[in-house]
Amino acid sequence: MPDLIALTDCTRGEVDTRIAGLDPAELAEAALAEVVSRLAMSGTGDGLAEAVQFELAFDGKQFIYHLGAGEKAEISNGSLAQPWVVIRQDLAELLHTLFGPETDRDNATRAVLMKDEPGPASWQDWEWHARRRNATTAAHQVISACAGNHHDLTDLAVRFGSDKWGGHWYTPHYERYFAKFRDRKVTVLEIGIGGYQGPDTGGESLRMWKHYFRRGNVYGIDIFAKPGIGESRMRALQGSQNDIEFLRATSATYGPFDIVIDDGSHISADVITSFTTLFPLLREGGLYVVEDVQTSYWPGWGGSSEDRAGASTSMGFLKSLTDAINHRELTTGESGWHGLEEMVTAVHFHHNLVVVEKGRNAEQGSPSSVPRLTGPLAEMTESTNEKS
């Protein structure tokens, strides 16, 4: 077995070249052996809550193994019949993540796949939810072991059963944007509490936010009444996200909010209504997050895969905010942002997740001496002709 530390003591792109000619199956088993050893050191014990299947790729070939659940996560060759968790990644990238330098690391090829939810009625299928929660925990155990560190929000998502980690992989992004707020006195609003009609179900993400923001008050709104989930520093409110008066009253009573997370209906019209209502009321310096924007491409949710720039879809609207940031550079008039262009300072796009920053967008435009309607080559040509 080669020295894996020396093998990966380089940039990610050089790892592929260095491992050429070596036995990829041997390297895959060594990588997973390292993962198992780290699981024992991570405080989670030797075992996994659910078996995890790895599909590692190198040089056009795939190497499949699985780590079994139980008292010890032993490595076995081959596929599981119906895996709850599948992790796919380039072998070279996994090796670099495990053994390479702390800098220049990424996981661009990693995909974490979970068994699909059977449908809206699954909230009553407690056995399915127990397996799903075990699978989410196992995925977190393995990913944390691969990284050698962890994100606090991921820990809390697993602890409380939030789908911010599991069905989605949002918590690392949230950690990036929310860390600066962590010890501040903040007020957080999440649209959508979860749990469908159950009065005592849902609220997993609200609990996650509450324990992450130790000096925060957390509110959630949902179209269903949730009287059973209220607790200290956490309150559930009933109302619709497309009810403008309700949203305004909520902000007036409990805000201004520092952070708003839209995990509500995911219908484009609702997303746009909530944003245009609540973003102006957000505290300056705050963040507005829209989750699950994949629905913007689905006609059944008011989206479109053809008219991707349409202002009636959530992604079309959110993408237009990048122009709003630069509105002083436009040669045409106001473009329907209704004052939002003075408030949006940054828009960050991730897979199915958009983060919008609020501030004073007051930076001046380019100098008036720079021509707008003619290009620099035309100006240079005209100047040359005059000299001739």
The neighbouring-strand residues paired with 277 are none
Rounded CA gap, 252 and 52, in Å? Answer: 47
Residue 281, CB-side half-sphere exposure with 13 Å CA sphere: 22
Rounded CA gap, 294 and 303, in Å? Answer: 9
Catalytic: which of 211, 266, 338, 351? 266
C-alpha dist (Å) from residue 6 to 10, 41, 72, 287, 321: 8, 23, 29, 42, 46
Rounded CA gap, 175 and 181, in Å? Answer: 10
Rounded CA gap, 151 and 157, in Å? Answer: 10
Positive or negative torsion for Cα 159, 162, 166, 171: negative
Rounded CA gap, 132 and 193, in Å? Answer: 19
Rounded CA gap, 335 and 356, in Å? Answer: 19
**Torsion-angle region of residue 371: left (phi > 0), alpha (psi -120 to 50) or beta?**
beta
151 is a catalytic site residue: no
Name the burial class of residue 273, with classes exposed (0-12), middle (13-18) and buried (19+) by CB atoms within 10 angstroms of its CB. middle
Measured in degrees and rounded to the nearest 5, phi and psi for residue 206 equal -60, -40
Rounded CA gap, 130 and 119, in Å? Answer: 16
- In terms of Cα–Cα distance, which of 326, 319, 327 is closest to 347? 319
Question: Catalytic amino acids?
Answer: 266
